[in-house]
Structure 1
C-alpha cells in the first residue's frame, strides 16, 4: 500500500513542521471524491502546544470535518511532527489512532532523523509502514 500525495502539499507540511518547531505540528490532508490522491492541506492547531504530543482542538476538528462533508471530500491523511525523535509512531500515536482508513504521516524535525517523512497505517494497535508516492 502507498500514500499518494501531491508534491506541493508535502512541501507545505514540511514547511509547517519547521515553522512550528519545537512544538509538534498537526493537520489533515483531504482528497476529492473518487481520488486516492491527498490533495488539499488543512493545517490545524496543536491544542496541546507540546514538544512531544499533539491534540486536535475538538471544535476546530468538528468544523474541519463538517467542511469536508460539505465539500464531499474525505480525510486521506492525518499528519503531525516529532521534534526530538524519528518519524515513527509513538505509543500514544498508536493508541489514539482511530481512523484505520487514514494514512498517518509523521514528519521528524529532529536533527538526527534518518528519514524525515514516513507514512503508516495504524489499525488495532498494529503499525504498517507504507511508501510515499508524490504526485504533480
Structure 2
C-alpha cells in the first residue's frame, strides 16, 4: 500500500495539469529503507510527448547522486497519462527499473477530475495497490 500525504498528491496532480498535453514525470524521494515519500522532485519530460515520458539522462544521474548523498531512494516514481486511464502501458512496465518503488499514474484526460492510482512493477509485471492519502 502507498501511504502518501495529501500535499504530495496535490503537487503531483498540479504538475500533471501544468504539463498537459504532454506527460509529466517526477520522483518523490524518501529515507532509504523507510517506504515513506517525503521530497517532491518534479522532472522534465525529455521526450516532451503526450504519449511517452522519459527522464533526461543527465538530470537522472544528478538526482541519483543527490539521493545517494542524502541517504534517500526513489519511493514514488510518477507520470501522467493525458488521454487514457491511469494504468501503466506496456512501455511503462518495460522501463520500470525500481522494483521497490511505487509507480503512480495520474490521468489528466478529464479537465475537471483526475484519476490517481499506484502500482508495483517488477519484471514488467504490474500489480495495482491501494493508496491511502493522509493529511
TM-score where L is the length of structure 1: 0.93
> Aligned runs of 1:1-136 on 2, under 5 Å?
2-111=1-110, 116-136=115-135
Structure 1 residues 32, 134: CA separation in 2 closer, same or farther (over 3 Å shift)?
Answer: same
Structure 1 residues 135, 100: CA separation in 2 closer, same or farther (over 3 Å shift)?
Answer: same
- Give the conservation status (yes or no) of the 8 Å contact 2:80–2:107: yes
Aligned residues: 135
Alignment root-mean-square deviation, CA: 1.7
Deviation of 1:22 (Å): 0.3
Cα deviation per residue 1:26-52 (whole Å; 9 max; x = unaligned)? 000011245322111000000000000
- Give the conservation status (yes or no) of the 8 Å contact 2:13–2:114: no
- Give the conservation status (yes or no) of the 8 Å contact 1:81–1:106: yes
Structure 1: stretches of 5+ with no match in the other structure? none
Whole-Å separation in 1 of the counterparts to 2:76 and 2:96: 12
Whole-Å separation in 2 of the counterparts to 1:100 and 1:133: 20
TM-score where L is the length of structure 2: 0.94
